[in-house]
Amino acid sequence: MNKIFLIIQREFMTRVRKKSFIITTLLSPIFFAAIAILPSYLASLEVTEVRIVAVVDNTKQFIDVIPSTEYIRIAYITDTPAEKVKENLSETGYYALLVIDTTITPNQPAFTIYSQKQPAIDVMQHLENTLKKEIEARKLKTYNIDNLDKILADVKTSISIKSIKVSQTGEEKESNTLIAMAIAYIMSFMMYMMVLITGNQVMQGVIEEKTNRVVEIIISSVKPFQMMAGKIFGMAAVSLLQILIWVVMTAALAGAGINIISSKITAKPATEQVQAMAQADPQMAQVQEQATAAANSKGMSFLTALKNQNFPLLIGGFIFYFLFGYLLYAAMFAAVGSAVESITDTQQLTLPITLPLILAIIVMISGIKSPDGALAFWFSIIPFTSPVIMLTRLPFGVPAWQLALSATLLVGTFILITWLAAKIYRVGILMYGKKYTWKEMIKWISYRG
Protein backbone atom coordinates (compact mmCIF):
# COMPACT_ATOMS: atom_id res chain seq x y z
CA MET A 1 0.00 0.00 0.00
CA ASN A 2 2.89 2.25 0.87
CA LYS A 3 4.25 1.73 -2.65
CA ILE A 4 1.02 2.75 -4.32
CA PHE A 5 1.09 5.86 -2.20
CA LEU A 6 4.62 6.68 -3.40
CA ILE A 7 3.52 6.31 -7.01
CA ILE A 8 0.39 8.39 -6.42
CA GLN A 9 2.52 11.02 -4.78
CA ARG A 10 4.98 11.15 -7.67
CA GLU A 11 2.19 11.34 -10.23
CA PHE A 12 0.39 14.02 -8.25
CA MET A 13 3.42 16.20 -7.61
CA THR A 14 4.73 16.16 -11.17
CA ARG A 15 1.29 16.97 -12.62
CA VAL A 16 0.37 19.66 -10.12
CA ARG A 17 3.61 21.54 -10.65
CA LYS A 18 3.09 21.77 -14.40
CA LYS A 19 2.39 25.26 -15.71
CA SER A 20 -0.52 24.03 -17.81
CA PHE A 21 -2.23 22.67 -14.69
CA ILE A 22 -1.82 25.90 -12.76
CA ILE A 23 -3.12 28.02 -15.63
CA THR A 24 -6.21 25.94 -16.43
CA THR A 25 -7.03 25.53 -12.76
CA LEU A 26 -6.93 29.22 -12.00
CA LEU A 27 -8.44 30.61 -15.17
CA SER A 28 -11.39 28.25 -15.62
CA PRO A 29 -13.36 29.46 -12.54
CA ILE A 30 -13.35 32.99 -13.94
CA PHE A 31 -14.94 31.58 -17.08
CA PHE A 32 -17.48 29.49 -15.13
CA ALA A 33 -18.37 32.41 -12.86
CA ALA A 34 -18.87 34.59 -15.90
CA ILE A 35 -21.32 32.04 -17.29
CA ALA A 36 -23.17 31.94 -13.98
CA ILE A 37 -23.51 35.66 -13.46
CA LEU A 38 -23.70 36.94 -17.01
CA PRO A 39 -27.49 36.50 -17.45
CA SER A 40 -28.37 38.34 -14.25
CA TYR A 41 -25.71 40.93 -14.94
CA LEU A 42 -27.16 41.56 -18.38
CA ALA A 43 -30.64 41.78 -16.89
CA SER A 44 -29.43 44.42 -14.45
CA LEU A 45 -27.45 46.24 -17.11
CA GLU A 46 -30.42 47.27 -19.17
CA VAL A 47 -29.93 51.00 -18.96
CA THR A 48 -27.46 53.27 -17.31
CA GLU A 49 -27.46 56.50 -19.33
CA VAL A 50 -30.17 58.82 -20.59
CA ARG A 51 -30.29 58.99 -24.35
CA ILE A 52 -32.12 61.75 -26.15
CA VAL A 53 -33.71 60.87 -29.43
CA ALA A 54 -34.57 63.80 -31.63
CA VAL A 55 -37.69 63.41 -33.70
CA VAL A 56 -38.40 65.45 -36.82
CA ASP A 57 -41.94 64.74 -37.89
CA ASN A 58 -42.50 65.90 -41.44
CA THR A 59 -46.03 64.41 -41.39
CA LYS A 60 -46.97 66.42 -38.31
CA GLN A 61 -49.14 63.48 -37.30
CA PHE A 62 -46.97 61.93 -34.62
CA ILE A 63 -46.18 64.97 -32.51
CA ASP A 64 -45.91 63.96 -28.87
CA VAL A 65 -46.97 60.40 -29.64
CA ILE A 66 -43.80 58.71 -28.46
CA PRO A 67 -43.43 59.00 -24.68
CA SER A 68 -40.11 59.45 -22.95
CA THR A 69 -38.99 56.70 -20.61
CA GLU A 70 -36.60 56.73 -17.73
CA TYR A 71 -33.58 56.42 -19.99
CA ILE A 72 -34.91 57.40 -23.36
CA ARG A 73 -35.94 61.00 -23.78
CA ILE A 74 -37.80 62.09 -26.84
CA ALA A 75 -37.23 65.60 -28.13
CA TYR A 76 -39.56 66.85 -30.85
CA ILE A 77 -37.91 69.32 -33.14
CA THR A 78 -40.20 71.52 -35.09
CA ASP A 79 -38.07 74.53 -35.86
CA THR A 80 -35.11 72.88 -37.59
CA PRO A 81 -35.24 70.84 -40.78
CA ALA A 82 -34.11 67.21 -40.55
CA GLU A 83 -31.11 67.83 -42.80
CA LYS A 84 -29.62 70.34 -40.40
CA VAL A 85 -30.08 68.16 -37.36
CA LYS A 86 -28.58 65.22 -39.21
CA GLU A 87 -25.48 67.23 -40.17
CA ASN A 88 -24.90 68.42 -36.62
CA LEU A 89 -25.83 65.18 -34.87
CA SER A 90 -22.55 64.88 -32.98
CA GLU A 91 -22.58 68.46 -31.74
CA THR A 92 -26.19 68.55 -30.63
CA GLY A 93 -25.66 65.63 -28.27
CA TYR A 94 -28.63 63.72 -29.62
CA TYR A 95 -28.30 59.97 -29.44
CA ALA A 96 -30.25 59.46 -32.63
CA LEU A 97 -32.53 61.25 -35.01
CA LEU A 98 -35.85 59.79 -36.04
CA VAL A 99 -37.30 61.25 -39.23
CA ILE A 100 -40.92 60.60 -40.12
CA ASP A 101 -41.90 61.18 -43.73
CA THR A 102 -45.16 60.79 -45.58
CA THR A 103 -45.62 58.04 -48.11
CA ILE A 104 -48.38 57.37 -50.63
CA THR A 105 -50.13 55.05 -48.18
CA PRO A 106 -52.15 56.99 -45.62
CA ASN A 107 -51.44 56.12 -42.01
CA GLN A 108 -48.24 54.38 -43.05
CA PRO A 109 -45.39 56.89 -42.94
CA ALA A 110 -41.73 56.09 -43.52
CA PHE A 111 -39.49 56.02 -40.45
CA THR A 112 -35.77 56.51 -40.68
CA ILE A 113 -33.34 56.62 -37.82
CA TYR A 114 -29.95 58.31 -38.07
CA SER A 115 -27.28 57.74 -35.50
CA GLN A 116 -23.54 57.68 -35.14
CA LYS A 117 -23.46 54.24 -33.60
CA GLN A 118 -25.74 51.31 -34.20
CA PRO A 119 -28.79 52.27 -32.09
CA ALA A 120 -29.29 50.15 -28.98
CA ILE A 121 -31.91 47.44 -29.07
CA ASP A 122 -34.02 48.98 -26.29
CA VAL A 123 -34.22 52.32 -28.13
CA MET A 124 -35.29 50.63 -31.33
CA GLN A 125 -37.84 48.48 -29.50
CA HIS A 126 -39.30 51.45 -27.68
CA LEU A 127 -39.72 53.46 -30.89
CA GLU A 128 -41.07 50.54 -32.89
CA ASN A 129 -43.53 49.44 -30.20
CA THR A 130 -45.04 52.84 -29.55
CA LEU A 131 -45.29 53.75 -33.21
CA LYS A 132 -46.80 50.38 -34.07
CA LYS A 133 -49.39 50.71 -31.33
CA GLU A 134 -50.22 54.24 -32.36
CA ILE A 135 -50.70 53.31 -36.01
CA GLU A 136 -52.75 50.23 -35.06
CA ALA A 137 -54.96 52.39 -32.86
CA ARG A 138 -55.47 54.91 -35.61
CA LYS A 139 -56.32 52.20 -38.12
CA LEU A 140 -58.82 50.70 -35.67
CA LYS A 141 -60.41 54.09 -35.19
CA THR A 142 -61.24 54.31 -38.87
CA TYR A 143 -63.67 51.41 -38.39
CA ASN A 144 -65.77 53.59 -36.09
CA ILE A 145 -66.49 50.93 -33.51
CA ASP A 146 -68.35 52.11 -30.45
CA ASN A 147 -66.72 51.71 -27.09
CA LEU A 148 -63.50 50.69 -28.77
CA ASP A 149 -61.35 51.58 -25.81
CA LYS A 150 -63.42 49.46 -23.49
CA ILE A 151 -63.40 46.49 -25.87
CA LEU A 152 -59.67 46.71 -26.30
CA ALA A 153 -59.05 46.94 -22.57
CA ASP A 154 -61.39 43.99 -22.08
CA VAL A 155 -59.63 41.87 -24.68
CA LYS A 156 -56.13 42.56 -23.45
CA THR A 157 -54.73 39.49 -21.76
CA SER A 158 -51.39 38.67 -20.24
CA ILE A 159 -50.20 35.23 -19.32
CA SER A 160 -47.21 34.31 -17.20
CA ILE A 161 -46.61 30.73 -16.13
CA LYS A 162 -44.76 30.41 -12.90
CA SER A 163 -42.95 27.08 -12.68
CA ILE A 164 -42.95 25.48 -9.23
CA LYS A 165 -41.40 22.10 -8.58
CA VAL A 166 -43.16 20.04 -5.95
CA SER A 167 -40.89 17.56 -4.22
CA GLN A 168 -42.09 14.26 -2.77
CA THR A 169 -42.37 15.83 0.64
CA GLY A 170 -44.68 18.45 -0.78
CA GLU A 171 -42.09 21.20 -0.61
CA GLU A 172 -42.48 23.80 -3.31
CA LYS A 173 -39.62 25.40 -5.13
CA GLU A 174 -39.54 27.92 -7.87
CA SER A 175 -37.71 26.36 -10.77
CA ASN A 176 -36.52 27.44 -14.11
CA THR A 177 -36.29 24.97 -16.96
CA LEU A 178 -33.76 27.07 -18.78
CA ILE A 179 -31.44 27.16 -15.82
CA ALA A 180 -31.74 23.41 -15.31
CA MET A 181 -30.93 22.92 -18.99
CA ALA A 182 -27.93 25.21 -18.79
CA ILE A 183 -26.57 23.43 -15.73
CA ALA A 184 -27.23 20.02 -17.28
CA TYR A 185 -25.47 21.03 -20.45
CA ILE A 186 -22.44 22.50 -18.71
CA MET A 187 -22.05 19.57 -16.32
CA SER A 188 -22.44 16.81 -18.93
CA PHE A 189 -20.13 18.51 -21.32
CA MET A 190 -17.51 19.13 -18.64
CA MET A 191 -17.77 15.50 -17.58
CA TYR A 192 -17.26 14.36 -21.15
CA MET A 193 -14.27 16.63 -21.64
CA MET A 194 -12.65 15.82 -18.32
CA VAL A 195 -13.00 12.05 -18.63
CA LEU A 196 -11.62 12.18 -22.15
CA ILE A 197 -8.77 14.54 -21.34
CA THR A 198 -7.66 12.91 -18.10
CA GLY A 199 -8.07 9.44 -19.62
CA ASN A 200 -5.83 10.48 -22.46
CA GLN A 201 -3.31 11.92 -20.03
CA VAL A 202 -3.17 8.57 -18.23
CA MET A 203 -2.62 6.83 -21.56
CA GLN A 204 0.15 9.23 -22.50
CA GLY A 205 1.75 8.76 -19.10
CA VAL A 206 1.76 4.98 -19.55
CA ILE A 207 3.22 5.26 -23.05
CA GLU A 208 5.86 7.63 -21.76
CA GLU A 209 6.87 5.20 -19.02
CA LYS A 210 6.98 2.36 -21.50
CA THR A 211 9.04 4.14 -24.16
CA ASN A 212 11.29 5.60 -21.46
CA ARG A 213 11.86 2.06 -20.30
CA VAL A 214 11.43 3.27 -16.76
CA VAL A 215 8.72 0.60 -16.36
CA GLU A 216 11.23 -2.19 -16.11
CA ILE A 217 12.94 -0.48 -13.19
CA ILE A 218 9.73 0.31 -11.38
CA ILE A 219 8.09 -3.09 -11.77
CA SER A 220 11.16 -4.72 -10.29
CA SER A 221 10.01 -3.12 -7.04
CA VAL A 222 6.22 -2.91 -7.39
CA LYS A 223 3.56 -5.05 -9.03
CA PRO A 224 2.34 -3.85 -12.44
CA PHE A 225 -1.13 -3.46 -10.92
CA GLN A 226 0.24 -1.16 -8.23
CA MET A 227 1.99 0.87 -10.88
CA MET A 228 -1.16 1.22 -12.96
CA ALA A 229 -3.39 1.92 -9.97
CA GLY A 230 -0.92 4.47 -8.60
CA LYS A 231 -0.89 6.32 -11.88
CA ILE A 232 -4.69 6.32 -12.20
CA PHE A 233 -5.31 7.36 -8.60
CA GLY A 234 -2.61 10.01 -8.76
CA MET A 235 -4.25 11.49 -11.79
CA ALA A 236 -7.66 11.24 -10.06
CA ALA A 237 -6.29 13.16 -7.10
CA VAL A 238 -5.02 15.85 -9.44
CA SER A 239 -8.41 16.15 -11.14
CA LEU A 240 -10.34 16.16 -7.87
CA LEU A 241 -8.12 18.91 -6.55
CA GLN A 242 -8.78 20.81 -9.73
CA ILE A 243 -12.56 20.34 -9.44
CA LEU A 244 -12.46 21.37 -5.80
CA ILE A 245 -10.58 24.56 -6.63
CA TRP A 246 -13.02 25.20 -9.45
CA VAL A 247 -16.08 24.72 -7.24
CA VAL A 248 -14.74 26.91 -4.44
CA MET A 249 -13.45 29.65 -6.71
CA THR A 250 -16.53 29.65 -8.94
CA ALA A 251 -18.82 29.76 -5.93
CA ALA A 252 -16.84 32.62 -4.44
CA LEU A 253 -16.63 34.58 -7.67
CA ALA A 254 -20.23 33.93 -8.73
CA GLY A 255 -21.50 34.58 -5.19
CA ALA A 256 -19.71 37.90 -5.04
CA GLY A 257 -20.90 38.81 -8.51
CA ILE A 258 -24.52 37.90 -7.79
CA ASN A 259 -24.50 39.83 -4.53
CA ILE A 260 -23.31 42.95 -6.28
CA ILE A 261 -25.95 42.57 -8.96
CA SER A 262 -28.84 41.85 -6.62
CA SER A 263 -27.95 44.80 -4.41
CA LYS A 264 -27.93 46.90 -7.54
CA ILE A 265 -31.36 45.58 -8.52
CA THR A 266 -32.94 46.21 -5.14
CA ALA A 267 -31.38 49.61 -4.67
CA LYS A 268 -32.63 50.94 -7.96
CA PRO A 269 -36.46 51.01 -7.78
CA ALA A 270 -38.83 53.88 -7.81
CA THR A 271 -36.79 56.26 -5.74
CA GLU A 272 -35.76 59.72 -6.80
CA GLN A 273 -36.18 59.39 -10.51
CA VAL A 274 -39.71 58.06 -10.35
CA GLN A 275 -40.62 60.51 -7.62
CA ALA A 276 -39.33 63.35 -9.73
CA MET A 277 -41.35 62.07 -12.60
CA ALA A 278 -44.41 61.60 -10.36
CA GLN A 279 -44.52 65.32 -9.83
CA ALA A 280 -44.49 65.96 -13.53
CA ASP A 281 -46.81 63.23 -14.66
CA PRO A 282 -48.37 60.86 -12.10
CA GLN A 283 -49.78 58.44 -14.62
CA MET A 284 -46.45 58.05 -16.38
CA ALA A 285 -44.63 57.39 -13.13
CA GLN A 286 -46.97 54.54 -12.32
CA VAL A 287 -46.27 52.81 -15.61
CA GLN A 288 -42.61 53.38 -15.10
CA GLU A 289 -42.67 51.85 -11.65
CA GLN A 290 -44.43 48.76 -12.89
CA ALA A 291 -41.91 48.33 -15.66
CA THR A 292 -38.98 48.63 -13.29
CA ALA A 293 -40.55 46.18 -10.86
CA ALA A 294 -41.15 43.68 -13.67
CA ALA A 295 -37.54 43.92 -14.83
CA ASN A 296 -36.28 43.48 -11.29
CA SER A 297 -38.47 40.50 -10.58
CA LYS A 298 -37.16 38.88 -13.76
CA GLY A 299 -33.59 39.25 -12.52
CA MET A 300 -34.55 38.07 -9.03
CA SER A 301 -36.45 35.03 -10.21
CA PHE A 302 -33.37 33.96 -12.17
CA LEU A 303 -31.35 34.17 -8.99
CA THR A 304 -34.01 32.37 -6.92
CA ALA A 305 -34.21 29.56 -9.43
CA LEU A 306 -30.43 29.32 -9.46
CA LYS A 307 -30.35 29.23 -5.68
CA ASN A 308 -33.09 26.61 -5.62
CA GLN A 309 -30.98 24.12 -7.55
CA ASN A 310 -29.73 21.47 -5.15
CA PHE A 311 -26.06 22.36 -5.42
CA PRO A 312 -24.73 19.88 -2.82
CA LEU A 313 -26.41 17.08 -4.81
CA LEU A 314 -25.15 18.44 -8.11
CA ILE A 315 -21.58 18.85 -6.90
CA GLY A 316 -21.63 15.54 -5.05
CA GLY A 317 -23.09 13.83 -8.11
CA PHE A 318 -20.52 15.42 -10.36
CA ILE A 319 -17.64 14.33 -8.15
CA PHE A 320 -18.98 10.78 -7.75
CA TYR A 321 -19.67 10.28 -11.45
CA PHE A 322 -16.46 11.95 -12.42
CA LEU A 323 -14.43 9.79 -10.05
CA PHE A 324 -15.87 6.46 -11.12
CA GLY A 325 -16.44 7.42 -14.74
CA TYR A 326 -12.86 8.58 -14.91
CA LEU A 327 -11.55 5.45 -13.15
CA LEU A 328 -13.50 3.25 -15.55
CA TYR A 329 -12.18 4.99 -18.65
CA ALA A 330 -8.69 5.58 -17.28
CA ALA A 331 -8.23 1.84 -16.74
CA MET A 332 -9.11 1.21 -20.37
CA PHE A 333 -6.88 4.02 -21.57
CA ALA A 334 -4.03 2.65 -19.44
CA ALA A 335 -4.50 -0.78 -21.03
CA VAL A 336 -4.26 0.76 -24.49
CA GLY A 337 -1.23 2.79 -23.45
CA SER A 338 0.51 -0.35 -22.24
CA ALA A 339 0.05 -2.09 -25.58
CA VAL A 340 1.56 0.53 -27.87
CA GLU A 341 4.87 2.28 -28.18
CA SER A 342 3.85 5.70 -29.39
CA ILE A 343 0.81 7.92 -29.29
CA THR A 344 0.36 7.57 -33.05
CA ASP A 345 -0.43 3.88 -32.66
CA THR A 346 -3.32 4.52 -30.30
CA GLN A 347 -5.96 5.87 -32.63
CA GLN A 348 -7.61 2.68 -33.77
CA LEU A 349 -7.35 1.20 -30.28
CA THR A 350 -8.95 4.17 -28.52
CA LEU A 351 -11.89 4.39 -30.89
CA PRO A 352 -13.93 1.65 -29.15
CA ILE A 353 -13.25 3.41 -25.83
CA THR A 354 -14.27 6.88 -26.92
CA LEU A 355 -17.31 5.67 -28.86
CA PRO A 356 -19.58 5.34 -25.78
CA LEU A 357 -18.54 8.81 -24.68
CA ILE A 358 -19.33 10.32 -28.06
CA LEU A 359 -22.64 8.46 -28.06
CA ALA A 360 -23.35 9.90 -24.62
CA ILE A 361 -22.86 13.43 -25.89
CA ILE A 362 -25.28 12.79 -28.76
CA VAL A 363 -27.86 11.34 -26.36
CA MET A 364 -27.27 14.28 -24.02
CA ILE A 365 -28.50 16.75 -26.63
CA SER A 366 -31.87 15.03 -26.87
CA GLY A 367 -31.88 14.02 -23.20
CA ILE A 368 -31.67 17.61 -22.12
CA LYS A 369 -35.10 18.19 -23.73
CA SER A 370 -36.74 15.16 -22.16
CA PRO A 371 -34.65 14.19 -19.16
CA ASP A 372 -37.11 11.51 -18.08
CA GLY A 373 -37.52 9.92 -21.50
CA ALA A 374 -36.62 6.30 -22.15
CA LEU A 375 -33.43 7.21 -24.01
CA ALA A 376 -32.06 9.41 -21.26
CA PHE A 377 -33.16 6.89 -18.64
CA TRP A 378 -31.37 3.91 -20.16
CA PHE A 379 -28.23 5.81 -21.00
CA SER A 380 -28.10 7.14 -17.45
CA ILE A 381 -28.18 3.57 -16.15
CA ILE A 382 -25.68 1.98 -18.57
CA PRO A 383 -22.28 2.41 -16.86
CA PHE A 384 -20.28 3.57 -19.89
CA THR A 385 -22.59 6.49 -20.59
CA SER A 386 -24.09 7.10 -17.15
CA PRO A 387 -21.40 9.54 -15.98
CA VAL A 388 -22.42 11.95 -18.74
CA ILE A 389 -26.15 11.29 -19.02
CA MET A 390 -26.91 11.09 -15.30
CA LEU A 391 -25.48 14.57 -14.98
CA THR A 392 -27.74 15.70 -17.80
CA ARG A 393 -30.74 14.48 -15.80
CA LEU A 394 -29.58 15.51 -12.34
CA PRO A 395 -30.54 19.22 -12.47
CA PHE A 396 -34.11 18.19 -13.43
CA GLY A 397 -34.39 15.80 -10.49
CA VAL A 398 -33.80 12.04 -10.58
CA PRO A 399 -35.58 9.43 -8.41
CA ALA A 400 -33.30 8.03 -5.73
CA TRP A 401 -33.61 4.40 -6.86
CA GLN A 402 -32.40 5.30 -10.34
CA LEU A 403 -29.41 7.11 -8.89
CA ALA A 404 -28.62 4.14 -6.66
CA LEU A 405 -28.93 1.64 -9.52
CA SER A 406 -26.81 3.71 -11.85
CA ALA A 407 -24.13 4.31 -9.21
CA THR A 408 -23.98 0.62 -8.22
CA LEU A 409 -23.65 -0.51 -11.81
CA LEU A 410 -20.95 2.06 -12.43
CA VAL A 411 -18.87 0.99 -9.44
CA GLY A 412 -19.31 -2.70 -10.32
CA THR A 413 -18.27 -2.13 -13.92
CA PHE A 414 -15.31 -0.08 -12.80
CA ILE A 415 -14.05 -2.98 -10.66
CA LEU A 416 -14.52 -5.52 -13.46
CA ILE A 417 -12.92 -3.36 -16.15
CA THR A 418 -9.98 -2.40 -13.95
CA TRP A 419 -9.35 -6.07 -13.21
CA LEU A 420 -9.33 -6.90 -16.92
CA ALA A 421 -7.31 -3.81 -17.83
CA ALA A 422 -4.68 -4.69 -15.24
CA LYS A 423 -4.23 -8.08 -16.89
CA ILE A 424 -3.68 -6.46 -20.28
CA TYR A 425 -1.43 -3.82 -18.77
CA ARG A 426 0.76 -6.40 -17.00
CA VAL A 427 1.55 -8.15 -20.30
CA GLY A 428 1.55 -5.10 -22.56
CA ILE A 429 3.92 -2.99 -20.54
CA LEU A 430 6.80 -5.41 -21.20
CA MET A 431 6.06 -6.10 -24.86
CA TYR A 432 7.96 -4.27 -27.53
CA GLY A 433 8.26 -4.32 -31.27
CA LYS A 434 4.80 -5.36 -32.39
CA LYS A 435 1.59 -3.64 -33.36
CA TYR A 436 -1.31 -4.75 -31.29
CA THR A 437 -5.01 -5.12 -31.83
CA TRP A 438 -7.83 -5.42 -29.33
CA LYS A 439 -8.12 -9.09 -30.29
CA GLU A 440 -4.54 -9.70 -29.25
CA MET A 441 -4.93 -7.65 -26.09
CA ILE A 442 -7.98 -9.62 -25.03
CA LYS A 443 -5.91 -12.78 -25.43
CA TRP A 444 -3.46 -11.41 -22.86
CA ILE A 445 -6.19 -11.45 -20.24
CA SER A 446 -5.85 -15.21 -20.06
CA TYR A 447 -2.06 -15.09 -19.59
CA ARG A 448 -0.77 -16.24 -16.28
CA GLY A 449 1.16 -13.85 -14.05
Partner 1 sequence: MHLLETKGIVKRYCNHLALDDVSLSVPRGSIYGLLGPNGAGKTTLIRIINQITGPDKGEILFDGRHMQPNDIYRIGYLPEERGLYKKMKVGEQALFLAQLKGLSRADALKRLKYWFEKFEIQAWWDKKIEELSKGMAQKVQFMVTVIHEPELLIFDEPFSGFDPINVQLVKDEILELKRKGTTIIFSTHNMASVEELCDHITLINKSRNILSGQIDEVRQNYGSNVFEVAFRGNPDSLRQKVEGRFELLKIDTENSLSKAQVRLKLQSDANNLLQELIPAVEIVAFNPIVPSMHDIFIQVVQEYNQKHGLAIS
Q: Minimal distance in Å, beta carbon 195 to partner 1?
A: 25
Window contacting partner 1 (CB under 8 A); options: 2-10, 56-64, 178-186, 267-275: 2-10
Task: Give me the 220-249 binding string for partner 1, x by CB under 8 A, dash otherwise.
Answer: xxx-x-------------------------
Quickly count: other Cβ atoms within 10 Å of residue 395's Cβ: 26
Q: Minimal distance in Å, beta carbon 207 to partner 1?
A: 13
β 51-57/72-76 pair status: parallel
Binding residues for partner 1 restricted to 414-433, rule: CB under 8 A: 430, 432
Total residues at interface with partner 1 (CB under 8 A): 25
CA pair distance 409, 39, nearest whole angstrom = 38
Which is nearer to partner 1, 218 or 405 (by Cβ)?
218
Which is nearer to partner 1, 224 or 325 (by Cβ)?
224
Closest CA to 102 of 52, 144, 56, 64: 56
Q: Which residues contact 246 (CB under 8 A, 6 or more apart)?
A: 25, 28, 29, 32
Binding residues for partner 1 restricted to 185-224, rule: CB under 8 A: 208-209, 211-214, 216-222, 224
Which is nearer to partner 1, 31 or 447 (by Cβ)?
447
Q: Minimal distance in Å, beta carbon 193 to partner 1?
A: 25
Which is nearer to partner 1, 312 or 449 (by Cβ)?
449
Q: Minimal distance in Å, beta carbon 326 to partner 1?
A: 23
Quickly count: other Cβ atoms within 10 Å of residue 234's Cβ: 24
CA pair distance 440, 449, nearest whole angstrom = 17
Terminal alpha carbon distance of the chain: 20
* 448 counts as binding partner 1 under rule CB under 8 A: yes
User: What would the DSSP string read from start to end of 333-392?
Assistant: HHHHHHH-SSGGG-HHHHHHHHHHHHHHHHHHHHHTT-TTSHHHHHHHHSTTTHHHHHHH
Binding residues for partner 1 restricted to 13-42, rule: CB under 8 A: 14
> Helix, strand, or coil here: 419?
helix
Residues near partner 1 (CB under 8 A) are 3, 6-7, 10, 14, 208-209, 211-214, 216-222, 224, 430, 432, 443, 447-449
